[in-house]
Structure 1
Amino acid sequence: MIESEALPTMFVCDGCCCGRTEKGHAEVPVNKLKTTWKREKLDKKINLKISNCLGYCSLHNVTVLKNKNKKTWIGKLSSEEHYKAVIEWAENVALDGVNAKMPNILVPHLFLPTEM
């Protein structure tokens, strides 16, 4: 069994701006993500961490996948389809590891923190 620290981790921001509907941002479906992670047994292959502020608040609803030494950042997640794609991405990572394909709907949401 892989140690939990060695597993890839999906960090989903639900902090000061992300998910705050009163600030005009889409809600982060925290309970749905947690439920799906358990139901699909994703928690055995990829950690889910609901995080406080990850920074990059101008891109509200930020998620970052840490897989080995690589971090992949996405922001401006605003629909149920985006979060379904995050789940699909996690399933791909669970199967294919670092070579996992990101769903096409998420590609336009990629950003590099160094460019911010």
Structure 2
Amino acid sequence: MSATPPPPGDPTVTVCRGCCCGTSKKRPLVDHAARLESLRRLLDGTARVRVTDCLGPCERSDVMVVSPSPAGRRAGGRPVWLGQLNGRHEPTAIADWVASGGPGLADVPESLRRAVFRSKDPLPRT
């Protein structure tokens, strides 16, 4: 069964899968493939999920960036960097936040606030 593409202009969730994020070398007790599949399933039709190589802040693995939709950007939303995403419930929290509008349209959920950080690194182009 293939994923339903989101409508143009939906938020994007960029998932780091570089040298540290998503590897059992750094986080051996996390099923990284299952977590990515869960995120894709939860965001199906709501947001674009893209996987990229190293985003840079390896000390914060696992890292994801939630970028706003065009409407969220017009409302002042900017990409939100999330780090140390190694819990079981974070994919659901991210999906719920995105379904509520994501950056610019909905506040970061309480359960994700500890994960928010600022990065000096620009998002990679893919």
Query: The TM-score by the shorter chain falls in which range?
Result: 0.7 to 0.9
State the alpha-carbon separation in 1 of the partners of residues 27 and 66 from structure 2.
25
Normalising by structure 2, report the TM-score. Answer: 0.71
Query: Partner residue of 1:32?
Result: 38
How far the C-alpha of 1:3 sits from its partner, in A, is: 7.0
Instruction: State how many pairs are aligned.
Output: 105
1:14 alignment counterpart: 17
Gaps of 5+ in 2: 1-5, 121-126
1:98 corresponds to:
104
Runs (4+) off by over 6 Å: none
More helix as a share of residues: 1
- Say if 2:115 is the partner of 1:109: yes
Give the distance between the partners of 2:67 and 2:111, measured in 1 at CA.
Answer: 19
Give structure 1 stretches of 5+ with no counterpart. Answer: none
Provide the aligned C-alpha RMSD in A: 2.3
The percent of aligned pairs where both chains have the same amino acid is 25
Distance 2:98 2:52 in 1: 17
Normalized against structure 1, the TM-score is what? Answer: 0.76
Q: How does 1:76-87 map to 2 (within 5 A)?
A: 76-87=84-95
